[in-house]
Structure 1
């Protein structure tokens, strides 16, 4: 089977049945749509329309996508954009002096095109030098990014496997998207709630009497996905809107701004001051206790520490502050009546609490989702149909019914004691080569928190606390990135640029002249 035929078959098998009408974005005389090949991106699957051998447009069809979005219209233009990298390039200073060149010229130096054979040798020789002189931990296999939607050809996985085979490397734990949730929730509920399966939408539509959408804008963010979205969640949000009319489902969005989801649903909107959500959740819990609406049986049977927490809410702790609606209102900017009203709704209706990832991207960000779980425990409906909480309805069509068949990654990044996300996060970590076998059976790679890369490069040998354990930063000499763009993900890019000047070498595999590629 030819590679193109194989990939086309994979794409076809992944596409679901659909109900949306086909939308043509370019004249059908380019090519018969039945002959147009299927391609896919983080924006969805489309048919690629060609003319004179050139990709000139896309056709979004109901057989591929429940709710085609406009982002796919940029695929053709991107393919031939001036920022596309044509050939391997090396910074002039590095080509002349290698790792001893002037690092401050990154982003300013002239680029020299070289052959693929020259590029292979240049990279291989530098990897061998760093491994020999500084050891495997001095190579950071960054490769964190969203370039590929596939498993077989996922850059993160392939780079990690290659670096493991040649000697090992320093890798990363967690991700920028939901770092705090993934770190804290396994200690609270026993699972990573950011990537857990959500209560299915049909169950919510049938049973939920209230839906609280807190710090999330799924109508906006479900346009894209880690893999290839079919946008089925949009059908369910439309059905939720219908249920608001048919059986009076109460939907409330809590967000500093009136977002797209609130507008689409026509829901009640509560504007809250940014990063003050925990205070408001505490006050709701307090008011539920005051109104006799907290599920005391659930708290006693299924939680640990509830009595201590209730005492804290009552002000029977060191701070002496009663965490009631009056206290929280001054902090979060939401009226006392609205807070008490929320307590009444949550305490009297079958309620699903949907929380997004945005609120945890701040100092003490783990507090938001920890407290949201506590709030759901006070409601006492965790495990009941249409009740409880979910932290992934805004991401990759969360909540849409999933196939019953077992699924797994085509290739896994498992590497000894340091296990990072699989090639296809959310689909498990099935591995062709178990960590205990193969070329890297003795690998015990260091894995630093993904957000600590700057701190690590600047402070080799520093001991830090991470996830209830001590760890020591390695001395990073070389960073190798594939399919990712740290200058887009990491905060304070000026500090990032100054920090990366300390690296001997920065290798980037990329199709476009991204900010990171220009600094390589």
Structure 2
């Protein structure tokens, strides 16, 4: 049996074909902590939800393009590849001629392939740029708020998000790690592009042995590794900024803040101090004030502040905290709190953002730009913040604010999506369904019959990473992987590159030559690798040629520095290495943001009461966090994800006291609902969350039953989360929280339809 190595966003692994033809999967031999998500790969590879052939929604095929509320509710008709490509090319040509390239939205947001060439987003954007451009999106659902805010505060978001202090430095120097939002180990198995050695998993397990005390600030007790022996502060969800301000006030009131650091390295502390003391609103932000909001006792707040000032302390904020209403505030307040301690730039101290959110934050692997497909330049300047896609489709021509700009939603007629599933990432899925009914045409590349495919007009089946040759590696991966094809394409599936090359040939005008540059896929892989290799060789590294790399199956990348401290250079020389801000220093007050005049994001970190609150009808605070059994919605049909279900539904955790009050037992199927929608889920009782909080992970494939009012019978929480921005500054996603009620489901369980393809009129093969 011959094993070959490949990689994925959940890590490198090896595959082989058994004597019975079944796909076999095992971890990479150098991985100290293989991801449990590998358990999804084999069962999903040939799952019956794979798209077998090009398919067109019957109404679009018979009546032509136009808005339709039948998307997601109508059968598909299989067609041949020539007909499918002719239809897509003709519609692209029509929309561009009649409405301009701005009327094409190149969605393509999502993780899709871990490969460097067969990266669906890069392929689609390259193609659309060549044919005149498209309306694009900015930022991400994961980090849309921080990517806008951090440049105002420290000049470079990438410094915080990609070059933060490394785990070896933290383990050696940090004595107290205050983790706002926790350090959920389930998330660090995942890294964009993959990782061969899961170092962050090992680091989290080493915290206790290294003598690092963890203060876990989260509604979920298991948001920290068990080996860390964390002290749990079961905060009321969404109130972290208030707790941070209470801690900051304690430092100020007791003279525990580092005035010399604030004077030399920060700008605006005097005004922030006035806010903490209540000069502007008459309300000091002291521990008693914070305790009333966040439900952490005042004496615990004071005690934590004193411990933070007495030892080397790292303040971390998970990405989840900026995916809430006013999500800018916990990030900004956390940075200000760390600045008051005066330890920014010192080994083991300061500020971090994203530890426990993803695997490469804190990883000390090499920081190298890997081979990548050039996308070219987009001739169309129009864009939207990525989480505003439903607004764009529903409200063309309306204006809105974003980061100091006044923008207008374009009138999009054609949505083209390749790689990613908006019905996973987006909020208020009932509203998104209505939005997807507005364009004239929706084209989707998909390996599976996800909700995105079911709500499309033309579905083009694409290969998965196991069905094509590619080159893979993550942002801090230790290896570059030769991803040799391990299985034949499913059905009539084609690579994204082949599909787009076929469209380019039909559109003419030299588009095909510009897109392919006359290269085959194998020639592209060799070209990208050798171009990358030349750069490394020029820097003194011994890198094998493509043929040797491909034969070996992997290349161990040059190592990066093991110990790294965020803003160490700035601390050592603030005049010679200033930050790229208006003052060259850390902005505790931003005159730029203040000048925007946004009521929901003032010019300093602040507590802003949420607009959405619990009610008597919807008293439970829902946390819609990342799943432990899959990456977002990817490979939900896989064995690991499937085994976590309750009666086929996504599990929802509920505190025993809340369950008892509702007559709910462990294993019951329950209805979770609010004014936006409802879903079914399987109850799991747990005292690892504070009473009044329920937790339902994202990523269950959206399965709406139209005969039951759109009830998602599978358990997707985004039928419950509001499609509202964090603030007008960033227009980021606020889908982490919602308020709901939970009740036992009574009566027969409705069938699950996402586990099979939609109705299809099949053509003979």
> Scaled by the length of structure 1, what TM-score is found?
0.84
Matches within 5 A, 1:218-257: 218-229=184-195, 230-244=197-211, 249-257=212-220
Q: 1:483–1:53: structure 2 CA closer, same or farther, 3 Å change rule?
A: farther
Residue 212 in structure 1 maps to residue 178 in structure 2? yes
Structure 1 counterpart of 2:43: 77
Matches within 5 A, 1:352-431: 352-394=314-356, 395-403=358-366, 406-408=368-370, 410-413=372-375, 415-416=377-378
Query: How far apart, CA to CA, are the structure 1 residues paired with 2:54 and 2:118?
Result: 19
Matches within 5 A, 1:53-452: 54-63=21-30, 65-100=31-66, 103-192=68-157, 195-229=161-195, 230-244=197-211, 249-317=212-280, 319-394=281-356, 395-403=358-366, 406-408=368-370, 410-413=372-375, 415-416=377-378, 443-452=379-388
Shift, 1:135, TM fit: 0.3
Whether the 8 Å CA contact 1:99–1:505 is kept in 2: the answer is: yes
Query: How far apart, CA to CA, are the structure 2 residues paired with 1:475 and 1:48?
Result: 46
Query: How far apart, CA to CA, are the structure 2 residues paired with 1:257 and 1:205?
Result: 24
Deviations 1:460-502 (A, max 9, x none): 1222111111212111111000011001110011111111111
Structure 2 counterpart of 1:470: 406
Q: Secondary structure at the match of 1:119?
A: helix
Shift, 1:415, TM fit: 2.5
Q: 1:325–1:508: structure 2 CA closer, same or farther, 3 Å change rule?
A: same
Q: 1:414–1:272: structure 2 CA closer, same or farther, 3 Å change rule?
A: farther
Q: 1:412–1:334: structure 2 CA closer, same or farther, 3 Å change rule?
A: farther
Q: Secondary structure at the match of 1:252?
A: strand
Shift, 1:209, TM fit: 1.6
Structure 2 counterpart of 1:510: 446
Deviations 1:55-93 (A, max 9, x none): 422112432x22112210110100111101111111111
Q: 1:326–1:414: structure 2 CA closer, same or farther, 3 Å change rule?
A: farther
Query: How far apart, CA to CA, are the structure 2 residues paired with 1:472 and 1:506?
Result: 22
Higher fraction of helix: 1
Q: 1:286–1:336: structure 2 CA closer, same or farther, 3 Å change rule?
A: same
Q: 1:61–1:473: structure 2 CA closer, same or farther, 3 Å change rule?
A: closer
Shift, 1:264, TM fit: 3.6
Q: 1:310–1:260: structure 2 CA closer, same or farther, 3 Å change rule?
A: closer
Shift, 1:263, TM fit: 2.7
Whether the 8 Å CA contact 1:357–1:391 is kept in 2: the answer is: yes
**RMSD of aligned Cα (Å):** 1.6
Q: Secondary structure at the match of 1:509?
A: strand
Deviations 1:27-70 (A, max 9, x none): xxxx3xxx21112222222111312473422112432x221122
**Structure 2: which 5+ residue stretches go unaligned?**
457-765
Whether the 8 Å CA contact 1:262–1:269 is kept in 2: the answer is: no
Q: Secondary structure at the match of 1:124?
A: helix
Query: How far apart, CA to CA, are the structure 1 residues paired with 2:261 and 2:371?
Result: 37
Q: 1:61–1:452: structure 2 CA closer, same or farther, 3 Å change rule?
A: closer
**Structure 1: which 5+ residue stretches go unaligned?**
1-30, 417-442
Structure 2 counterpart of 1:423: none
Q: Secondary structure at the match of 2:270?
A: helix
> Scaled by the length of structure 2, what TM-score is found?
0.58
Shift, 1:239, TM fit: 2.4
Of 90-99 and 122-131, more deviation after overlay is shown by 90-99
Shift, 1:178, TM fit: 0.9
Structure 2 counterpart of 1:429: none
Whether the 8 Å CA contact 2:6–2:14 is kept in 1: the answer is: yes
Q: Secondary structure at the match of 2:171?
A: helix
Matches within 5 A, 1:4-19: none
Of 387-396 and 324-333, more deviation after overlay is shown by 387-396
Structure 2 counterpart of 1:496: 432
Q: Secondary structure at the match of 1:105?
A: coil
Q: 1:53–1:45: structure 2 CA closer, same or farther, 3 Å change rule?
A: farther
Whether the 8 Å CA contact 1:196–1:392 is kept in 2: the answer is: no
Structure 1 counterpart of 2:727: none
Query: How far apart, CA to CA, are the structure 2 residues paired with 1:266 and 1:280?
Result: 22
Query: How far apart, CA to CA, are the structure 1 residues paired with 2:72 and 2:318?
Result: 36
Query: How far apart, CA to CA, are the structure 2 residues paired with 1:412 and 1:473?
Result: 28
Deviations 1:154-204 (A, max 9, x none): 111110110111111000001100111111011011111563312111111
Q: 1:320–1:465: structure 2 CA closer, same or farther, 3 Å change rule?
A: same
Shift, 1:392, TM fit: 2.5
Structure 1 counterpart of 2:677: none
Deviations 1:249-276 (A, max 9, x none): 3221110110242434221111100111
Query: How far apart, CA to CA, are the structure 2 residues paired with 1:358 and 1:137?
Result: 32
Shift, 1:148, TM fit: 0.9
Shift, 1:242, TM fit: 0.7
Query: How far apart, CA to CA, are the structure 1 residues paired with 2:440 and 2:371?
Result: 34
Structure 1 counterpart of 2:394: 458
Shift, 1:134, TM fit: 0.3
